[in-house]
Copies of this chain bind each other. A is one copy, B any other.
Amino acid sequence: MDKTEKTIKKEQVYSGKVINLTKDEVLCPNGQKALREIVHHRGGVAILYKVDDKFIFEKQFRYALNEEIIEAPAGKLEEGEIPLEAAKRELLEETGYRPLDMIHLGDSYPTPGYSSEVIHLYYCPKAVKEERHLDNDENIDLIYLTLEEIEQLIESGAIKDSKTVAAIHLYKRKISKER
């Protein structure tokens, strides 16, 4: 059975810097009408990169959670930018390493219930050291963690960021057979 929900009406509620919001009236396959509040987001990237067998991770204050969290280097797509270019740019900006290659691990849907966002996950097998170029409103500490340390931080709840967990899960499955 076709489960597609068809748009009856779309109302633009907010148009912002990072997100837009629409309030959509949809027709469900059973004939019911329903309201869908949808966050529109350009999408993002997250990148795993290792120096001497330790992944470069970040400690960053996240205002939405009012908490400093641990996560993989990541960022938003710029207008017109393809995910691969965003991944290369963000790794360089945030860590100072210029990627020489990028392997696409897969994509992640963080919030299918109300957002169009897709996060593209990459592993960088090789890069050269240059300079970091953080945005003015970014305040990021770099930390260096082995795969087992990351696994323990996920298990203990010290790493809760879903794109980071998804990237590590795919890395283990596709790149490394380390346990």
Contact = CB atoms under 8 A, between A and B. Distances in A.
Interface of A: 3-5, 13-14, 16-19, 21, 23-24, 26, 28-30, 32, 34-39, 41, 44, 60-66, 68-69, 71, 76, 106-119, 136-137, 139, 151, 154-155, 157, 160-163, 165-166, 168-170, 173-174
Contacts of A137: 28, 32, 34
A37 B71 CA distance: 20
A35 B64 contact: no
A11 to B, nearest CB: 11
A68 B3 CA distance: 8
A-B pairs, top 10 by smallest CB distance, nearest first, are A34-B137, A162-B162, A3-B61, A110-B110, A62-B112, A109-B160, A165-B166, A16-B37, A5-B63, A108-B162
A154 B41 CA distance: 23
Given A28-B137, A137-B28, A173-B154, A110 B16 contact: no
